Amino acid sequence: MTIPPKATELRHVVAAVSAALAHPPADDNVAAIFERHVQQLLSMRAVRLREIPSRYQARLVTPTRTPESIVLGVPMADPAVQAVLEAKFDRGRRLDERDFELLTAAAQLGGLVLQAARTRAVVPPLPASAISQLIGSSRVMAALKERVERVATTDFTVLIEGESGTGKELVARQIHELGRRRKGPFVAVNCAAVVETLLEAELFGIEERTATGVRGRRGKFEHADAGTLFLDEVSDLAVSAQAKLLRAIQDLAIERVGGTGARRVDTRIVVATNRPLSTLVARGLFRPDLYYRLSGVDIQVPPLRERREDIPELVAYFLARHRSERELSLSDAAVDALRLHEWPGNVRELERVIERVVALARTNRIDLDDLPPQVRGQYGEVLAPALAASDSMRAWASRYARLVFERCGRNKRQASRLLNISYHTLDAYLQYGTARSRPAGKRVPAWAREEPGEPAV
């Protein structure tokens, strides 16, 4: 059987593509290998195989010829997807019949190459270190990382809930980086920072000459095409904006301000809020239909106080980021104080505290006195003096019992239940160090002195 000449010449291209499919290279993709071999076969300046974004498909006319290039249509299995093979050559070069035949055959083969590339890109391999930006090794953080990895392989809308400063945007970026859209843009919008009257134009864009002096521009949905759109503080959207957002998410189409037609977008939506949307729905402050459209695939980011064991690891990470200024280390007392603090501002507050320490620490070793007073808190008031005085275990227990006693409103029975000790044991701890049990000459801090009229219960 006689093999057609063009098939014989393309066999090296087919062999290279087959090898790339069987053993994917680490530094290149199948389409790039195809382009390179076609370019070498035809001695072209450049060859590019690409899909046409949906917003440009209406303008596609092939074949198209210029003095320096030719564009051919590439057949695709999905009629809604359009693709082209573009070849650039030196000005003045005349393409002969052989060139046209090879380019036409390469365009046919290009459809198979793009289809194979799309299939392989559905579930991309997860980089081993990509999830490492979520700092922490605690049980709750391990569960969060696992959930992020699972969600990232899908294209579903994701709702991220958590207190301010917990790292919701970082979680959203990890979802983007671990998903198949990681080569596309990540566009973040803080809904609370956008003026309500401008929010529609900011999200959906505005047409040219909509008003005097207004220039047309794309909105955030279009900027995030083929990527991820992150809407932070979505709970702050006005009710009118919520309705338009619902329409855009349902139809994956937007209409610019002043426009007359919808534009389809290929955008993944990730939203975040520091207030539970279910509570806002119950209070009539958030549309139920939008809530049900956003919820389902949700991620809860834990506050820092629920993963205190991660604080040393977070501190080490923040200190490493500022190593160029100075290399610092923390004393055990400083670490203990950081672990005991409640952190109402979560990880963001911890990061700012470390920045303050880096700027103001007098030595390269951070001690308890280098921390802000509100962070030292009860550790500085109670535990640090006990350490300095080398108090006994009984003295430490007495101090702690008195703290719990004061926190319970000086109610001994309630304090006994919290400490899991008997009423008489608590009374003994409270009496320790007072005038009735204190060795002669030993001072007692003012906060630990028994005050007159102390209630028995």
Q: Is the pLDDT of residue 450 over 60?
A: no
Interior angle at CA 319, CA 313 and CA 323, nearest 5:
140
What CA–CA distance (Å, rounded) separates 241 from 274? 19
The H or E element spanning position 298 is strand 298-300
Helix axes 412-419, 423-431, angle to 10 degrees: 100
pTM over 0.85: no
DSSP 51: E
Classify domain 306-448 at the CATH topology level: Helicase, Ruva Protein; domain 3 (1.10.8)
Higher pLDDT, 186 or 79: 186
Tokens (6 digits) for 333: 């007392």
pLDDT for the residue numbered 127: 47
Q: What is the CATH number of domain 5-120?
A: 3.30.450.40
Report pLDDT digits (tens) over 117-137. Answer: 666 544 444 444 444 478 999
Topology of the domain comprising 141-302: Rossmann fold (3.40.50)
Domain assignments of the chain as residue spans, ordered by start: 5-120, 141-302, 306-448
Has residue 168 got a pLDDT over 70? Answer: yes
48-72 pLDDT, tens per residue? Answer: 887 765 444 445 556 778 888 888 8
